[in-house]
């Protein structure tokens, strides 16, 4: 649910956020930099403080947090970075502002496919990249990602930019599975099926399916739930569509992560690891996933009823780190096939 905005807007937001001074960073506190909206996650931090007595200081922004941590250098008060999508998680690691979490609790609770093999990040919850299908015009109940390139969908698919991180993750998953040549062929096929030039966000994709511009759209699981339950203006877009969980042939549904990273110079490292471990706990998992309409990463935690209503998620078992390694190739291919043109 985090979207790119102009750096100027982010800078303005950062100025409004009460600054964390290194002087305030002492035992009994933990400093969280987050791309998740404060109003959504504050109840979670309040519960953490109640459980542990550790105060949580929050810096919230819509972009630029890794750069801020980098600029703050060894004096950065940042302990924990909360972010969404493997694209942003990967960027934080690449820019060099993280360190391994090293937690047996995390290693035990978070499945290996949703953790960095080097320990720099761990998934807290998951979202799937799925199909918003027209209730009126789409009869089938199952679909594969491969099938999106089938000419039977010619002129019937809507999707946002192929360079957006959500699509980059999906296309990278395709490339990790099939290699670049097959991915290029598939992307050409999908592009040939588009009803219109890639545009808007996932909600607008649902809007366009509802308006009859296309029969199927590609979007994330939580947007549909947000439109259906939390946004009266957009409820009709959800009502005109239904979510189909697509799978790779012989595989599962592509999922992406909402994740957590430990800052390289975390001044409250022990508390940071406590918070990260606490986020993997049963109650936190329930709160976090429910608040954001995501899938809990911890097994056995109840899934929000709207999300559960999509059907049973059979997540693709490919490790997120392997998908991440194909992000650049996927981006290059999107340009090569002129996906967004």
Residue with smaller CB distance to Fe ion, 98 or 256: 256
Q: Rounded CA gap, 97 and 112, in Å?
A: 22
To the nearest whole angstrom, how small is the minimum distance from the Cβ of residue 239 to Fe ion? 21
Q: Rounded CA gap, 242 and 257, in Å?
A: 22
To the nearest whole angstrom, how small is the minimum distance from the Cβ of residue 88 to Fe ion? 11
Residue number with the shortest CB distance to Fe ion? 1
To the nearest whole angstrom, how small is the minimum distance from the Cβ of residue 192 to Fe ion? 27
Q: Is 63 exposed, middle or buried (0-12, 13-18, 19+ CB in 10 A)?
A: buried
Q: Which residues contact 292 (CB under 8 A, 6 or more apart)?
A: 1, 36, 40, 125, 222, 258
Residue with smaller CB distance to Fe ion, 31 or 34: 34
Residue with smaller CB distance to Fe ion, 48 or 132: 132
Q: Rounded CA gap, 225 and 22, in Å?
A: 40
Residue 105 binds Fe ion, judged by CB under 5 A: no
Residue with smaller CB distance to Fe ion, 77 or 162: 162
Site size for Fe ion (CB under 5 A): 1
Residue 40 binds Fe ion, judged by CB under 5 A: no
Q: Using alpha carbons only, give the angle 69, 72, 73 rounded to the nearest 5 degrees.
A: 90
Residue 1 binds Fe ion, judged by CB under 5 A: yes
To the nearest whole angstrom, how small is the minimum distance from the Cβ of residue 1 to Fe ion? 4
Distance from chain centroid for Cα 338: 25
For strands 241-244 and 157-158, give the pairing: unpaired
Residue with smaller CB distance to Fe ion, 30 or 257: 257
To the nearest whole angstrom, how small is the minimum distance from the Cβ of residue 201 to Fe ion? 8
To the nearest whole angstrom, how small is the minimum distance from the Cβ of residue 84 to Fe ion? 7
To the nearest whole angstrom, how small is the minimum distance from the Cβ of residue 137 to Fe ion? 26
Residue with smaller CB distance to Fe ion, 1 or 325: 1
Q: Pick the stretch among 1-9, 41-49, 148-156, 280-288 that binds Fe ion (CB under 5 A).
A: 1-9
To the nearest whole angstrom, how small is the minimum distance from the Cβ of residue 85 to Fe ion? 8
Residue with smaller CB distance to Fe ion, 146 or 294: 294
Q: Rounded CA gap, 58 and 31, in Å?
A: 6
- Annotate 109-132 with DSSP letters as a single string: HS-GGGB-TTSSEEEEEEEEEEEE
User: Residue 157 in contact with residue 145, Cβ under 8 Å?
Assistant: no
Residue with smaller CB distance to Fe ion, 1 or 47: 1
Q: Rounded CA gap, 171 and 183, in Å?
A: 8
Distance from chain centroid for Cα 44: 18
Q: What residues line the site for Fe ion (CB under 5 A)?
A: 1
């Amino acid at each position: 649910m985090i979207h790119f905005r102009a750096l100027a807007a982010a800078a303005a937001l950062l100025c409004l956020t009460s600054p964390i001074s290194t002087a305030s960073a002492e035992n009994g506190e933990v400093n969280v930099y987050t791309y998740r909206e404060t109003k959504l996650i504050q109840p979670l931090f309040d519960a953490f403080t109640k459980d542990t007595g550790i105060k949580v200081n929050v810096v919230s922004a819509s972009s630029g947090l890794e750069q801020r941590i980098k600029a703050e250098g060894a004096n950065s008060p940042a302990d924990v970075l909360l972010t969404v999508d493997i694209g942003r998680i990967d960027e934080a690691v690449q820019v060099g502002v993280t360190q391994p979490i090293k937690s047996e609790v995390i290693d035990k609770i978070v499945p290996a496919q949703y953790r960095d093999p080097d320990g720099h990040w761990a998934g807290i919850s998951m979202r799937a990249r799925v199909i918003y299908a027209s209730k009126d015009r789409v009869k089938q109940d199952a679909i594969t990602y491969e099938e999106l390139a089938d000419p039977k969908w010619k002129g019937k698919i809507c999707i946002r930019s192929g360079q957006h991180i959500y699509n980059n993750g999906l296309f990278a998953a395709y490339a990790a599975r099939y290699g670049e040549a097959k991915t290029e062929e598939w992307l050409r096929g999908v592009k040939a099926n588009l009803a219109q030039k890639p545009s808007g966000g996932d909600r607008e994709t649902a809007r366009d399916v509802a308006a009859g511009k296309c029969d199927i759209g590609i979007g994330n699981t939580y947007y549909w739930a947000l439109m259906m339950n939390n946004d009266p203006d957009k409820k009709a877009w959800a009502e005109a569509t239904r979510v189909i969980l697509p799978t790779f042939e012989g595989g599962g549904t592509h999922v992406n992560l909402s994740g957590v990273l430990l800052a390289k110079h975390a001044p409250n490292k022990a508390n940071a690891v406590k918070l990260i471990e606490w986020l993997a706990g049963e109650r936190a998992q329930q709160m976090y996933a429910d608040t954001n309409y995501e899938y809990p990463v911890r097994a056995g935690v109840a899934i929000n009823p709207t999300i559960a209503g999509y059907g049973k998620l059979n997540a693709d078992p490919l490790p997120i780190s392997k998908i991440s390694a194909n992000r650049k190739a996927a981006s290059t291919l999107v340009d090569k096939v002129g996906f967004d043109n």
